[in-house]
Amino acid sequence: MGIDVYEPPRLPPPPRPRREPVTHPPRWWLHLTLFVLTFCSAVLASVVPTLYAGSLSEVLEILRLEPLLLLHGLPFAVALMAVLLAHELGHTVMARRLGVDLSLPYFIPAPTLFGTLGAIILMRSLPHDRPALLKVAVAGPFAGMLLALPLLAWGLSRSAAADLDQLAASDFVFGSSLLFAGLKALFAPDAEILKLHPVALAGWVGLFQTSLNLIPAAQLDGGHVAYALFGRRHERLSRVTAALLLALGIYLAIEQGIEHGAVWALWAMLLYMLGLRHPPVQDERVPVSRRQKLAGLLAFLLLVCTFTPVPVSRALPPAATPTIHRGDQPRPMFPPRRRPLRPPPEEFRL
């Protein structure tokens, strides 16, 4: 007699609950505060060199007596912040379209020649594939250039020729990239040295910032493009790029002075400190299309056209051939009251 044993049917294991993506609510107050501080810092960076003050206390005293002098810094600050914002919004809009979680831009105010170190965006989720990574990477530089180029052309058309006899050694000379030289030839007056209009200076900063971001190393915009195009060979390219930047900095420091090569040496050291590797995307098997490769090559062509070997230097004697001179900004509506110089004690004799 057989015994029937009941065996319950084997059911497939229940599906794992789908993990919802972690969302990070933006801290609007922090981003807005940094934006306002950076804007104010850019205003001061444009106004302070025109005050001819010898110390910080004199600058504060002049601005306290005549706060309307700050209005002269608005053209530079508005144009510069517009270019920086266009760059960052290009990344943000494209990332939202492709489902990549990005933070809002963190603007960085700093006591530099331009009042800022730019802005950064944190990538909180990995792009799905290399084509998505490339689209997000190139969207920022392309969007920033769409605004920087017309601003630069307009500003160059309103720049004036500088008087070589009044060129002081303390004035700044801004280097010329291929793209800047072309726009200067088309729109600027025929002069050996230009007094850059504040909007033209903001456009120059936009070109320089674009070239820095498109350097094919680490997780810069150019680094993202390099990883999208070359995959795991990105790390080798990053090491070569950082070594070339360091070599360029050392060469310029030896040939022209430490201040000319410092920017590239420091940039190379910063890349080494932040790390030259690039995290993988979620799906490495998705190929990059021919059109996307063309966009990546166009980004590197933009790097070549905007790269400036010697970005900023001190003014040279008139016998030399300087490039672009910042010059004086528009004269204040109310000339600052300067204190009379106190004669040395030995002149007070009875």
Task: Provide block-wise average pLDDT over 10 residues at a time, the chain (350 residues).
Answer: 52 52 74 97 93 79 92 97 97 94 94 94 91 97 97 96 74 91 94 90 97 96 96 94 96 90 92 91 94 97 96 66 46 42 34
Q: Is 11 helix (H, G, I), strand (E, B) or coil?
A: coil
Buried b (16+ CB within 10 A) or exposed e, 218-246: bbbbbbbbbbbbbeeebbebbeebbeebb
pLDDT at 134: 97
Total-model pTM: 0.83
Contacts of 218 (CB under 8 A, 6+ apart): 238, 242, 271, 274, 275, 276, 277, 278
d(CA 59, CA 116): 19
Q: How many CB atoms lie within 10 A of CB 159?
A: 23
Strand ordering across the sheet containing 324-325: 160-161, 194-195, 324-325, 172-174, 312-314
* pLDDT value for 57: 85
Domain limits, the chain: 28-332
Query: Residues 278, 254: contact at Cβ < 8 Å?
Result: no
Nearest partner of 296 among 218, 226, 236, 239, judged by Cα? 226
pLDDT given for residue 258 in this prediction: 87
Q: Which long-range contacts (CB under 8 A, 24 or more apart) does 339-347 make?
A: 339/58
Of 279, 295, 303, 277, the residue nearest 131 (C-alpha): 295
- Residue with tokens 């504060």, as numbered in its chain: 60
**Bridge pairing between strands 160-161 and 194-195:** antiparallel
